[in-house]
Structure 1
């Protein structure tokens, strides 16, 4: 008889079993440009706090005030007893900032995307980029719609899938705006054109681009000058807004439908008061201090150019998400450990977060990093290259590169 507890170990578990590197579930003390790990202070180059707002005194003080006034928890779901004036204020501000009639905030960004399942009914068809975030993948699984996956950013493939689908069915295209591991942008102008040509709705997850891209920090939609051309935008408050929580921004009727039908909203405790207040304070800073976005892109440019000059394969990234491909899982773990030994904390990303044999080291600069921090990160990678040789020695390094995207 099969034992449901007797599961085989995953590929990463097998790799970790005989490798001294321990890149996961490592406790960190303190936060910011530098962190403490095992009693050492190292550069934090593997964090989604792109603008450095999670430790900004204005953000932490706003969270503390809300904690003292409202307590640590809402102790219930939004629909029953968990809605505060803070939530309503945040929703109004986000709707105005991102650009939509209405907004709904959720407890996490993952739950915001899971809410999309309430729109995916039997008889509908959803078309999803193969590199979409796991939360979008799970939303599609939870919904009742047929599922068609198109090759990453392959508009010709998507066009063929849309053309072959039932024109009478409800159709929806779902994509990340800024892909969280590869660091490349979705081809939004082409996606908008295809969605309109085939009568499909378009949903963009702006988790990593809202607050970072565009002249006003409004994300990939603003970056491409396509305000009003995307039907629904999702996102998170745990990246550029230094807090935790999710958002859905779009037509008022759609947002109202999700309020009463999305299970991840109805059956989950509301975003804590401190998180909502922190996000509001961070939004003020995002709007008032565009130099933070410029600084993080300056750091990204230095990293991408420096890593490529050292022979590393950084794929097609043009943003502050900088992937360094190793391909092999064990090599990825070794590079991660070598970098940590050199005083730099990064992210070792392996299957299932990326495809098999596409393991990578994920490097993310923050606005609070100094030029000296970036120099030390590049020096650490240079030392790894000297010790291990080219990582990897791949013809991908010879691909022509697009320039790094820099906000106005």
Structure 2
């Protein structure tokens, strides 16, 4: 038997610091109210922004695809794993994003790793300090030089760009919406600096897909920057309601990634039912501006009420609304006490966020009713007073 003593000690330390979190097993599908341990609780941590996981069009598309294609694709994309439904999804994604092409990966995480393949030893990647872990890990896999700029600090970004003129390629990468804080990247300023210093702009719209822009086209559309953002990564796993990721941009980018991106080359393609579900979701988005309007109305209502109680929600300006607590153990206690009141909101602590920036992250969806949101606000007030977060 292996000696796991070091791992056991590290786990014990996590428990002592209040940072250990077991997996939560849910007894019902993704929705606004879900069952856990035989209880019905309000779900405030799901990325199912538009409620599409239960949309009848998506369910129908998945069932029909299974009947037509079976349950699996049988291979990687470059052998026999590109079925008509995969090609159709990429064509409609590109049209939706208003780019020349789009390439679908198995997840948003692997998309970011795959896109980093464009970087070589003579290049530099310049990254916002609060970018998602998938970007950080993707950068670590490259031989490129790397530079970090302070969160949304355009003066520092320009200083870094000015220093990096000798590199063959300069790639500036940023989240579109930052997943832990719910703030939006200053994309127009990033694009202007990139154009000034001849850099490539790469935006990860995991939490902006289906949320920002016309019909949820993303942050590039939100800011009216069509044609000026070179790489748009999106997810099919959050607002779209299924699973997967994609890179949208010029045809040459797609062609290069097909040849070079190892996550694409060495992973079996998405099951046909998933591809069909995502295709149906894109078609729903094209005609569902009202869903996104409801999402933003709910988010504004909830954030305003939470701030009025006296909670610190940081720089949130999207449906991601963190309640910043600070201490990891107190953060997890806050989350646990909320669950006792019937509200599930995940506590997030170091190393996902800084040690003193623990927070309980709320995510508002289009399907939450005002009664749901008021229920959560009442629970927040009760628990906040109980543990001394409100004075």
Moved over 2 A (4+): 3-10, 12-19, 21-24, 166-169
Residue 274 (structure 1) aligned with residue 273 (structure 2):
yes
The residue aligned with 1:358 is 357
> Relative to 1, partners in 2 of residues 1:9 and 1:143: Cα closer, same or farther, differing over 3 Å?
farther
Secondary structure at 2:201 match in 1: strand
Q: In the alignment, is the contact (CA less than 8 A) between 1:179 and 1:185 conserved in 2?
A: yes
Distance between the aligned counterparts of 2:307 and 2:352, measured in 1?
A: 23
**Contact residue 29 and residue 37 of structure 1 kept, 8 A:** yes
Q: Distance in 2 between matches of 1:115 and 1:341?
A: 41
Post-superposition CA distance 1:329-351 (Å, at most 9, x none): 10111000011011111111111
SS at match of 2:307: helix
> How far apart are the structure 1 equivalents of 2:295 and 2:304?
14
What SS does structure 1 have at the residue aligned with 2:216? coil
CA distance in 1, matches of 2:137, 2:324: 26
Q: Aligned equivalents of 1:13 and 1:350: distance in 2?
A: 16
1:8-407 to structure 2, matched below 5 A, reads 14-16=13-15, 23-30=21-28, 31-390=30-389
Shift of 1:293: 0.7
SS in 2 for 1:148: strand
Shift of 1:97: 0.7
CA contact 1:108–1:271 (8 Å) conserved in 2? no
TM-score (norm 1): 0.92
Q: Tell me how far apart the structure 1 counterparts of residues 22 and 366 of structure 2 sit (CA, whole Å).
A: 24
Alignment check: 8 A CA contact 1:182 1:317 kept: yes
Aligned 8 A contact 1:75 1:81 in 2: yes
2-side partners of 1:353 and 1:279: how far apart?
Answer: 29
Instruction: For residues 103-138 of structure 1, give each alpha carbon's deviation from its aligned partner in whole angstroms, at most 9, with x where no partner exists.
Output: 100111111111022111001000001111111111
Instruction: Give the alignment's Cα RMSD to 1 decimal.
Output: 1.9
Residues 121 and 145, structure 1, Cα contact 8 Å, conserved in 2: yes
- SS of the equivalent of 1:238 reads coil
- Separation (CA, whole Å) in 1 of partners of 2:144 and 2:93: 29
Q: Is the 8 A contact 1:15 1:329 kept in 2?
A: no
- TM-aligned CA deviation for residue 262 of structure 1: 0.2
Unaligned runs of 5+ in 1: 394-408
Unaligned runs of 5+ in 2: none
The 3 A distance-change label for structure 1 pair 348 and 88 is: same
SS class of match (2:75): coil
CA displacement at 1:390 relative to structure 2: 1.8
Please give the TM-score of this superposition, normalised by the length of structure 2.
Answer: 0.95
Question: Partners in 2 of 1:68 and 1:188 — Cα distance?
Answer: 43
CA distance in 2, matches of 1:134, 1:310: 32
Post-superposition CA distance 1:164-220 (Å, at most 9, x none): 124343110001001111100000011001101111100001111121111332111
Distance 1:331 1:70 in 2: 50
1:24 CA displacement = 3.9
Classify the secondary structure of the residue corresponding to 1:216.
Answer: helix
In 1, are the aligned partners of 2:206 and 2:235 still within 8 Å (CA)? Answer: yes
Distance in 1, matches of 2:291 and 2:12, equals 38
Q: Output the CA distance in 2 between the equivalents of 1:4 and 1:18.
A: 20
Give the stretch that moved more between structures: 93-102 or 165-174.
165-174
- 3-state SS in 1 of match to 2:147: strand
Match of 1:401 in 2: none
The CA distance in 2 between the partners of 1:182 and 1:329, in whole Å, is: 16
Q: Is residue 213–residue 222 contact of structure 2 (8 Å, CA) maintained in 1?
A: yes
Instruction: Name the CA distance, whole Å, in 1 between partners of 2:289 and 2:197.
Output: 37
SS in 2 for 1:82: coil
Shift of 1:23: 5.0
**Separation of aligned partners in 1, 2:263 and 2:354:** 28
